[in-house]
Structure 1
């Protein structure tokens, strides 16, 4: 079996995460955690064995709450391990145990090369009827940054280089869950328009997230002042506001699915309906 192409350089991502300040301004992760809390509180389920993971799992919560009450999270990291959140290789995903009732993954899909395999390995660690929830950056995230650097590279060097990682389109998310063997798959999208003082402030935010260019096949040279100046000018033209600030698009895709179980709701067999559509529509 052919191995998936290497898209992300996790060693480089680990270096970026390790250089962050003790209390980084990582509002993107906080957005995801707030949204996760609002999703879990609607689930009527006791989670006795729950795990949450992220590239840097030490910054994740130790407790969660569902409609049935509070529960404890076990934490692991997929890029930067620590005593509070041990490192696991996301491509192999050997978690501490099997039989979890709930596994949550926040932005791990941004650092792995085999997304369907990763989702399938999560499913293998779930108990029957266990729940998986994952958050990933959506396909149109940072589209302004991508366009600005493409324009700046063409202007300063006559070529185009990949400087922003690819993200998952919403249209592909449901198929990923189905390919990975989940029952009752659900995907949805949250879009956040964000404003910054300038391009450099946005790039500092990405640095705090550990999301500086993580591509394995990235340009071999550092961004020069000339390139950054050209990118800043292009960004202001593409997404500048009258007050001098610039806009950035952030999309967070949420994926959820259940490990198959015989008692789960099943789709009706073709021809088994007892009510005609014509009767429902009154025609």
Structure 2
């Protein structure tokens, strides 16, 4: 049996220590969610929201059913016309399973939206810590969860059974005084290392000192502060319904592409 990526008990402990000041990326995710809903010419009456930070999201979506991102999500089949999975999918041991459960909770033509961290998140910290640890200790320990690339997410939506899948991304850049203030912010977000294979003993101070020097050398902003990237990936998909646009069967087109574009058709050379 494959060992899970995330230590669920450790993740719960990290999230329990999150603070209001650390929720600024959830505020950004909230804006992304509202922007997507504003684009849809449809009203929703039975919304559900899946997240690891139920308190924050309950403040903003009081009328929605707010549930935790447990391995088995507490949503009944076909009980909602909108399901949002907020800032938690990147910790899922079975992300496709999470998507499938959300799809099953949707009625036909119901909308699914997810916002989570993408592969460019904390790329600067990952590089600085990795190089520093190798230089100081001669080894490398898991510190930041492997995050998905955007090109993979559309396929995950299709595997989960969604129609009209769309995946897009936005990157936010935040500046910090030094690497220690960045790590304090990560703890305030409830996003500190909860990997099952994480190092279980304190890291030597020399690793962080060297990482600070590398970070400042490679990723300093014009202000002299350190830049940190947070990529938010946004997924949207619909529960299949006969009313949705359907792709044509291959070979069923009645007009040539050249005619539609108004250009002469040239045969390919042998």
Q: Same fold (TM over 0.5)?
A: yes
Residue pair 1:122, 1:132 contacting (<8 A) in 2 also: yes
Distance 1:146 1:227 in 2: 13
Structure 2: which 5+ residue stretches go unaligned? 264-270
Aligned to 1:42: 39
Structure 1: which 5+ residue stretches go unaligned? 65-70, 79-88
Deviation for aligned residue 1:97: 6.2
Say which SS state the counterpart of residue 160 (structure 1) adopts.
coil
TM-score by length of 1: 0.88
Aligned to 1:14: 12
Distance 2:103 2:30 in 1: 21
Distance 1:272 1:179 in 2: 26
Distance 1:200 1:27 in 2: 18
Aligned to 1:128: 108
Give the alignment partner of residue 52 of structure 2, picking from 37, 51, 55: 55
Distance 1:144 1:77 in 2: 30
Say which SS state the counterpart of residue 25 (structure 1) adopts.
helix
Distance 2:242 2:107 in 1: 12
**Where is the helix percentage greater, Structure 1 or Structure 2?**
2
* 2:187 is equivalent to residue 207 of structure 1: yes
Deviation for aligned residue 1:47: 1.1
User: Whose RCO is larger (CA < 8 A, sep 6+)?
Assistant: 2
Aligned to 1:254: 234
Distance 1:137 1:108 in 2: 8
Aligned to 1:73: 64
Deviation for aligned residue 1:261: 1.1
The alignment's C-alpha RMSD in Å is 1.7
What's the CA shift string for 1:82-116, capped at 9, x where partnerless?
A: xxxxxxx2x22232564210000112212211111
Give the alignment partner of residue 155 of structure 1, picking from 125, 135, 138: 135
Aligned to 1:81: none
Note closer, same or farther for the CA distance 1:17–1:63 as it changes in structure 2 (3 Å cut): closer
Deviation for aligned residue 1:24: 2.8
Note closer, same or farther for the CA distance 1:164–1:208 as it changes in structure 2 (3 Å cut): same
Where do residues 1-283 of structure 1 align in structure 2 (5 Å cutoff)? 5-21=3-19, 23-61=20-58, 72-78=63-69, 89=70, 91-95=71-75, 98-283=78-263
Distance 1:188 1:4 in 2: 30
Say which SS state the counterpart of residue 121 (structure 2) adopts.
coil
Query: How many positions carry a matched residue from both structures?
Result: 263
